[in-house]
Amino acid sequence: MGYARALQSGHVDSFNARRRQRDFAELFLIYGLILLVLWMPGPWQPLLWGVALFSMLAITYLKFEGLEPMGLGKVNLRQSIWIAGAALAIASISVLLAVRLHTLQLPVDRVWFVRHYGAYVVWALVQQVGLQCFFFSRLLRLLPDEISAAAMAAVLFAGAHLPSPILMLATLVLGFVACMLFLRYRDVYSLAIAHAILGIAIGITIPGAVDHNMRVGLRYLTYMHPPAARASSPQPQ
């Protein structure tokens, strides 16, 4: 009996070790692709974005854990919708401050506004799925506790927003909060809505000359503020 238990324990340890190696390799691959995209010249970015996104989705599909564990179900949506409400309250305060400081930037062209910010809502969902379902889920297995995993996920999230100081600070803090809320509610949708609301708030309250129109990576460094710019447009980061 003792030998059988030791053998079984050895198999479990070996399986866990292999899974940890795979988790680390997958994190290294996808995060490396993301950084490569952000720091490559513009003409290569669409192709590399497609490679990075396809790779992440393919790995997630091959290791599909179910909609509910991934936070893509509807079980906790009612309980977690307050997160979007809190984001809306913060965004409203930031708009009021921007009005007082004369930094509010509302585009005149409504079609432009809907097109650009509508796309950003979808991008916010993609970012939250990647953060929670891919990076955070693996870090939970690699690191000793949930707080360490959430902190590391936030650091990686902020690192993908280099060298923008505003976005790095925002994603570091809100990335950690989002991961902890995900542990509590297992709902990506409310987090994505909150992400979109806060991102749009940054876009319309902070001048493009300050946040470089929410660009990151090489595009942040090469940004040139136009003489008569419209409102900041969140860019895929």
39, HSE (Cβ side, Cα atoms, 13 Å): 11
Give the whole-angstrom CA distance, residue 199 versus residue 86.
14
pTM for this entry: 0.86
Query: Which pLDDT does position 9 carry in this prediction?
Result: 55
Query: Which pLDDT does position 180 carry in this prediction?
Result: 97
Phi-psi region of 186 (alpha: psi -120 to 50; beta: other; left: phi over 0): left
Secondary structure of the chain in HEC code, one letter for each residue:
CHHHHHHHHHHHHHHHHHHHHHHHHHHHHHHHHHHHHHCCCHHHHHHHHHHHHHHHHHHHHHCCCCCCCCCCCCCCHHHHCHHHHHHHHHHHHHHHHHHHHCCCCCCCCHHHHHHHHHHHHHHHHHHHHHHHHHHHHHHHHHCCCHHHHHHHHHHHHHHCCCCCHHHHHHHHHHHHHHHHHHHHHCCHHHHHHHHHHHHHHHHHHCCHHHHHHHCCCHHHHCCCCCCCCCCCCCCCC
Give the whole-angstrom CA distance, residue 21 versus residue 224.
43
pLDDT by residue for the chain (237 residues), tens digit each? Answer: 554 454 455 566 777 788 899 999 999 999 999 999 999 887 888 888 889 989 998 898 888 877 787 788 777 788 999 999 999 999 999 999 999 999 998 877 778 778 888 889 999 999 999 999 999 999 999 999 999 999 999 999 999 999 999 999 999 999 999 999 999 999 999 999 999 999 999 999 999 899 999 999 999 999 886 654 444 445 545
Specify the residue for token string 């292999």.
18
Query: Which pLDDT does position 77 carry in this prediction?
Result: 80
Query: Which pLDDT does position 19 carry in this prediction?
Result: 87
Query: Which pLDDT does position 91 carry in this prediction?
Result: 97
Non-local CB neighbours of 224 within 8 Å, separated by 6+ positions: none
Query: Which pLDDT does position 188 carry in this prediction?
Result: 93
Distances (CA, A) of 50 to 33, 57, 159, 167, 225: 10, 10, 20, 23, 28
Query: Which pLDDT does position 118 carry in this prediction?
Result: 87
Give the whole-angstrom CA distance, residue 175 versus residue 142.
18
